A and B are shown apart, each in its own frame.
Chain A
Amino acid sequence: MKPPNFQYKRPFSIDEALAIIDNCKDLDVRIIAGGQSLIPMMNFRVAVPEVLVDLGAIQGLTTIQKDSDFLYIGAMATATSVMQSDLILRNAPLIPLAYEHVAHPTIRNRGTLGGNLCHCDPASEMPMVMSVLQAKLIVASTRGVRCISAKDFFKDLYTTALEPDEILTQIRVPFASHSTRFAFEEISLRKGDYAIVGIAGSIETKQGSCKNLRIGLCGVSNVVACFDQFSDLTQGCRVENIPTEKIIERVRSQINFESTASVSAAYRKYATEGLIRRVVDRLRG
């Protein structure tokens, strides 16, 4: 479990990083952030990069700020710093709620939000949370800067919309209004394991009636899943009356539950239904 030889670069600015990538067009170049997913893959020789570009020395990539519309989270902010940020707790409480279920403190001290999103593991919490929150991802290359919405960013198992020469630099999370409710539930075999099933929910309420119910799922299928087609069920509904069973049915009908060595499809389905019920009950208040 040792990686083969690779070149290691540690640029001090984004521009320098992008230039390195540009100069290595014919080589397999990889960004390294916290290394908590990439290093194991390299040790297993599943990932065999020829050049590693470490973003750890670039100033400004770890900051967490806000203006009147968005939270701006630097891609290199560690899970721990995001979890412990007051700004985030106040304006996007779903993030720290979900982070409670991500790995262990030692891993969160090194692992970054950006790395977590670029890794795009469908069992991972943050890609799904960012989809529910309708975050935007800012990516840069020598060709310019793009802004990609979460729902377009997470493509498939371990696959994002990033081009090989692009770096994720920032995550923009729209403010939650005070009338938005969030809930998060997860089952993992042990505390900190990847989810067998994890469910996030958010709903906006206005004078008792509600809109924009969104339910995200991780762990159950091969893609980052976020469902938001519920308006016919929630239209004009008071939040405490939203039809739980119909919501569950709608989500369930769109998922193909599969068995793995230690988790049967039947259990996954049962647990998913149960957790959606819990999440919706939380949202109802």
Chain B
Amino acid sequence: MIPNRKNSSWIGASLERREDRRLLKGRGRFADDVSLPRMGYVALLPSPYANARIKKIDLKAAQALSGVYLVVTGAQFVKTVGPMPTRSNAPVVQYCIAVDRVRHVGEPVAAVVAVNRYIAEDAVELIEVEYEEYDPVVDPMASIKATGNGVLHPDVGSNVVHKSEHSWGPLSQNLKKAAHIVTENFRWNRVAPQPIETCAAVADFNPAGEYFTIWSNMSQQSIIGGNLAISLGVQETQVNYHLCDVGGSFGGKAGLFHVPMIAAGLARLAKRPVKYVEDRMEHMANGNQNGSDRIYTASLSLDSDGRFTAVIFDVIDDFGAYFMINTGSHGNSLAQATGPYDIPALGYNLKCVLTNKVQQAPYRGFGGEVANFVLERLVDAAAKKMNWDPIDLRRRNFITKDNFPYRIPNGNIYDSGDYEKVLEKALMAADLPYWESKKKSAIQKGKRIGWGISTVNERSVLSMTEFWFLDKSPRFPQTSSPESVQIRIASNGRAVVTIYAPHWGNSPETMAVQLVAETLGMHPDHIEVNYGSTENGMISKGPVGSRYTVMLAGAIAGACKKLKDRIFTFAAHMLEVEKNELVIRDEVVSSAFSSGSSLTFAEISRFAHNFRLEFPAGEEYASGLIAQYTYDHPLTTSPNPDTNDLGIFYPIVGHACHIAIVEVDEITLQTKFLKYVAVHDAGTIVNPKAVAGQIRGGIAQGIGTALYERVYYDDQGQLLTVTLADYAIPTSLEIPDIVIDHVETPSPYTEYGIKGCGEGGRLAAMPAIAAAIDNAFKDKGLFIRELPVTPSFLYDNLHIDD
């Protein structure tokens, strides 16, 4: 049930962020802030080659250096630390320190633990390695046909680690009947989130209990315990993992295993606590943090009325040297492959290939942003080809608001939406006629004005099936992705909420405070939030796939229901009324019928904690006020093994319309924003300021992807972008002020009707920006098929099209 918002007093309020209290005072606690007695510091020797066999490693000089505690090769390390966790199928084996062979520049070859990082790096310089160089495999197309030493993992047999073809709905019929088919090629280049905080871990091993204690910014509770323990050769109950503040993840730290594993493995060998903090070069070359790297041929078919009848994606994805995430990012692309449009047929042909580059990991959007870009570009291509207005064409194909829940051809559903309303709001805010009227005078000043629009869906609340449903025989077909919470009312009547997901720079504490305030009728200042480590923890999937607030709301609703019942049990006895006539308002419990006596939370809790003999015997009056709850994904169904129905896997679907208005200088070809409008529908909004922050941040990264950022490898597999001077993340000077507005279509499936919004900015920005630049060069027939549109790229493309 969706409550009437009028009665909600805390949901919808722009409360100040709880997290900011400590962060703005410099009191955050990050992994690097953890310091233990006798702690040693790690430095790693990176491979200088993209593809080589390790012939010989000489550690003697490094071991002899004063201040060095331990030096190990990968071959030595692997005796106590097994391969990294992977979802790949068949498994592509990856060690966190290379054994026998290196497969990308920057892959660690040996590790040093020393009294400080300076001496550790001195020791690294003294390690001597003999390599036998192989020809690097850099181009994904060449990789497909590679043989001999060009095959990265001889035991897998080929660099093509996944190949599958899928069609859903009446694909071939619709293509045959189509009045028009537009086909385009796209190249989606590698980008990376590059959070300010690199990956870091402090690990301690207690030989008495064979027990690891780890502090790290790697984030997914339910994965860590199990997977890390397997690699370390202990039981998951022998690892206690503490959450830290995280200086940005954007998805990358979700699948981060090598850093805590290296720290933990070395701590056990060195017999002392160990800290490993990546420097920026290591993070760039070995962080396992690069996003999708895809080559597309994609087609959209239309009937003579301009209605979309089918869409097909042919994709080759260059995953780099390993395949930790399996085809998860393609599952993600499939969640909303037909966008906000009513398209009855869908084709998806996928090849995943390996090359000598660092491997992929999730990055805000996790492939969904790529599919959105390609689909929106196809829509623009169709509009251009048929000379239709791109806005009308979108409108004509929107799923209308009375058609929800809507099933897309592959089986996923969209829960709710009102795309027309979002579009209307965005158009009002953008005022395109005004910008059209400015175009002419701008030209006289050597500037070209252009506008572009994207209307995209914003799938949220990830479940797990997308990681394996494209596999023929899934190795670990996991279907759980729960979230937990514990709420305790202390004897003073105040609430303490324990959560189990890390703070990634999002607002988990603020959300917990507002949701508990709302659900229990409490004042936010009377609610504290803390984090549980895995040792005392409950099961938690954490903040990926725009899911945390929705999942937390479900867990909090469940726990509050239990708590309320406990409070009413005690209060009914104390007030001598029936339990079911009690109501809570502002931490006061009273009867809905009889005016008169009432009790505060503090009074009830004081009795519940201290005066057992005031209450009757029996379980229900057991001392204390505490409740735990684990909330499972609200709506996932099993996929069919033959993939003709992928089931429901990403059903909570928001929507966004972005309109970018740009100005391009004719001489410099630099793109500047004149206006940027973003209207989102993320269902019921818990905290408008937090949602606006998510949208702005996502757009900033979207602008980075669209105009500035790219991970460059040369033809020898050497990484050219190893500093933040080479890898150009936009700064506040490049990001415009963004006009944000909302539509709220509550989800029928979630608590309070909340939808996720953590990735939305980056799911929508890139196609709008590309379209705006096209529009500025309409007379030249420009059509952007690749990003980033740097001035140089724009120049080269304008010439090609001439």
A277:B796 contact, CB within 8 angstroms: no
Q: Which residue in B666, B725, B796 is a CB contact (below 8 Å) of A266?
A: B796
Known interface pairs A193-B725, A262-B712; A1-B280 also in contact (CB < 8 Å): yes
Map CB proximity to A onto B715-738 as digits: 1 under 8 Å, 0 otherwise: 000001100010010110110000
A263:B121 contact, CB within 8 angstroms: no
B668 closest partner in A (C-beta)? A187
Map CB proximity to B onto A235-273 as digits: 1 under 8 Å, 0 otherwise: 000000000000000000000000001111011101100
Known interface pairs A2-B121, A190-B731; A277-B667 also in contact (CB < 8 Å): yes
Q: Which residue in A1, A3, A192, A271 is a CB contact (below 8 Å) of B668?
A: A271
B166 within 8 A of A: no
Contacts of B720 in A (CB 8 A): 261
B281 closest partner in A (C-beta)? A1
B186 within 8 A of A: no
B792:A274 contact, CB within 8 angstroms: no
B279:A1 contact, CB within 8 angstroms: yes
B790:A189 contact, CB within 8 angstroms: yes
A189:B280 contact, CB within 8 angstroms: no
B667:A278 contact, CB within 8 angstroms: yes
Known interface pairs A193-B725, A262-B790, A264-B795; A275-B712 also in contact (CB < 8 Å): no
B178 within 8 A of A: no
Contacts of A97 in B (CB 8 A): none
B791:A271 contact, CB within 8 angstroms: yes
B796:A267 contact, CB within 8 angstroms: yes
Q: Which of A156-193 contact B (CB under 8 A)?
A: 187, 189-193
Map CB proximity to A onto B275-317 as digits: 1 under 8 Å, 0 otherwise: 0000111000000000000000000000000000000000000
Cα(A189)–Cα(B670), bound, Å: 8
Contacts of B730 in A (CB 8 A): 190
Contacts of A278 in B (CB 8 A): 667
Within the complex, the shortest CB–CB distance from B676 to chain A, in Å, comes to: 17
A274:B667 contact, CB within 8 angstroms: yes
B733:A192 contact, CB within 8 angstroms: yes
A193:B795 contact, CB within 8 angstroms: no
Chief secondary structure at chain A's binding surface: loop
A285 within 8 A of B: no
Within the complex, the shortest CB–CB distance from A7 to chain B, in Å, comes to: 15
B117:A264 contact, CB within 8 angstroms: no
Map CB proximity to B onto A1-36 as digits: 1 under 8 Å, 0 otherwise: 111110000000000000000000000000000000
A196 within 8 A of B: yes
Contacts of B733 in A (CB 8 A): 190-192
Within the complex, the shortest CB–CB distance from A193 to chain B, in Å, comes to: 7
B122 within 8 A of A: yes
Known interface pairs A190-B731, A270-B795; A275-B710 also in contact (CB < 8 Å): no
Contacts of A267 in B (CB 8 A): 669, 791-792, 795-796
Cα(A191)–Cα(B712), bound, Å: 21
Known interface pairs A1-B281, A190-B733, A271-B667; A266-B791 also in contact (CB < 8 Å): no
B118:A2 contact, CB within 8 angstroms: yes
Cα(A277)–Cα(B668), bound, Å: 12
Within the complex, the shortest CB–CB distance from B170 to chain A, in Å, comes to: 44
Cα(A76)–Cα(B727), bound, Å: 30
Contacts of B725 in A (CB 8 A): 193-194
Map CB proximity to A onto B257-287 as digits: 1 under 8 Å, 0 otherwise: 0000000000000000000000111000000
Within the complex, the shortest CB–CB distance from A116 to chain B, in Å, comes to: 16
B504 within 8 A of A: no
Contacts of B795 in A (CB 8 A): 264, 266-267, 270-271
A191:B731 contact, CB within 8 angstroms: yes
Contacts of B731 in A (CB 8 A): 190-192
B710:A262 contact, CB within 8 angstroms: yes
Interface residues on B, range: 20 to 34
Known interface pairs A261-B714, A271-B669, A275-B667; A187-B791 also in contact (CB < 8 Å): yes
B799 within 8 A of A: yes
A196:B118 contact, CB within 8 angstroms: no
B712:A261 contact, CB within 8 angstroms: yes
Cα(A187)–Cα(B730), bound, Å: 15
Contacts of B721 in A (CB 8 A): 261
For A193, A267, A278, the residue with the greatest tally of chain B CB atoms inside 10 Å of its CB is A267
B712 closest partner in A (C-beta)? A261
Map CB proximity to A onto B776-802 as digits: 1 under 8 Å, 0 otherwise: 000000000000001110011001000
B650 within 8 A of A: no
B708 within 8 A of A: yes
Contacts of A193 in B (CB 8 A): 725, 728
B732 closest partner in A (C-beta)? A191
Contacts of A5 in B (CB 8 A): 118, 122
A3 closest partner in B (C-beta)? B118
A189:B668 contact, CB within 8 angstroms: no
B734 closest partner in A (C-beta)? A190
Cα(A266)–Cα(B125), bound, Å: 40
Cα(A187)–Cα(B672), bound, Å: 13
Cα(A123)–Cα(B274), bound, Å: 41
Contacts of B118 in A (CB 8 A): 2-5
A187:B670 contact, CB within 8 angstroms: yes
A1 closest partner in B (C-beta)? B279
A274:B796 contact, CB within 8 angstroms: no
Q: Which residue in A191, A196, A261, A268 is a CB contact (below 8 Å) of B734?
A: A191
Within the complex, the shortest CB–CB distance from B735 to chain A, in Å, comes to: 11
B796 closest partner in A (C-beta)? A264
Q: Which residue in A2, A3, A263 is a CB contact (below 8 Å) of B792?
A: A263
Q: Which of B561-581 contact A (CB under 8 A)?
A: none
Known interface pairs A190-B733, A277-B667; A264-B792 also in contact (CB < 8 Å): yes
Contacts of A189 in B (CB 8 A): 708, 728, 790-791
Q: Which of A191-236 contact B (CB under 8 A)?
A: 191-194, 196
Cα(A267)–Cα(B796), bound, Å: 7
B43 closest partner in A (C-beta)? A2
For A2, A194, A274, the residue with the greatest tally of chain B CB atoms inside 10 Å of its CB is A2
Cα(A90)–Cα(B122), bound, Å: 50
Contacts of B670 in A (CB 8 A): 187
Q: Which of B206-246 contact A (CB under 8 A)?
A: none
Within the complex, the shortest CB–CB distance from B482 to chain A, in Å, comes to: 40
B792:A262 contact, CB within 8 angstroms: yes
Contacts of A2 in B (CB 8 A): 117-118, 121
Contacts of B668 in A (CB 8 A): 187, 271, 274-275
Map CB proximity to A onto B375-393 as digits: 1 under 8 Å, 0 otherwise: 0000000000000000000
Cα(A194)–Cα(B728), bound, Å: 11
Contacts of A277 in B (CB 8 A): 667
Within the complex, the shortest CB–CB distance from B722 to chain A, in Å, comes to: 9
Contacts of A261 in B (CB 8 A): 712, 714, 720-721
Cα(A270)–Cα(B712), bound, Å: 23
B790:A266 contact, CB within 8 angstroms: no
Within the complex, the shortest CB–CB distance from A48 to chain B, in Å, comes to: 10
A186 closest partner in B (C-beta)? B668
Cα(A5)–Cα(B119), bound, Å: 9
Contacts of B281 in A (CB 8 A): 1, 44
Sample of 13 more A-B contacts, CB < 8 Å, known A187-B670, A189-B791: A1-B281, A4-B122, A191-B734, A193-B725, A194-B725, A262-B790, A263-B790, A266-B799, A267-B795, A268-B792, A271-B667, A271-B668, A271-B795
Residues of B within 8 A of A (CB): 117-118, 121-122, 125, 279-281, 666-670, 708, 710, 712, 714, 720-721, 725, 728, 730-731, 733-734, 790-792, 795-796, 799
Selected A-B contacts with CB under 8 Å, 21 pairs = A1-B279, A1-B281, A2-B117, A2-B121, A4-B121, A5-B118, A45-B121, A45-B125, A187-B670, A189-B791, A190-B731, A193-B725, A262-B710, A264-B796, A266-B795, A267-B796, A270-B795, A271-B669, A271-B791, A274-B666, A278-B667
The 6 closest A-B pairs by CB, nearest first: A274-B667, A267-B792, A267-B795, A1-B279, A191-B733, A263-B792
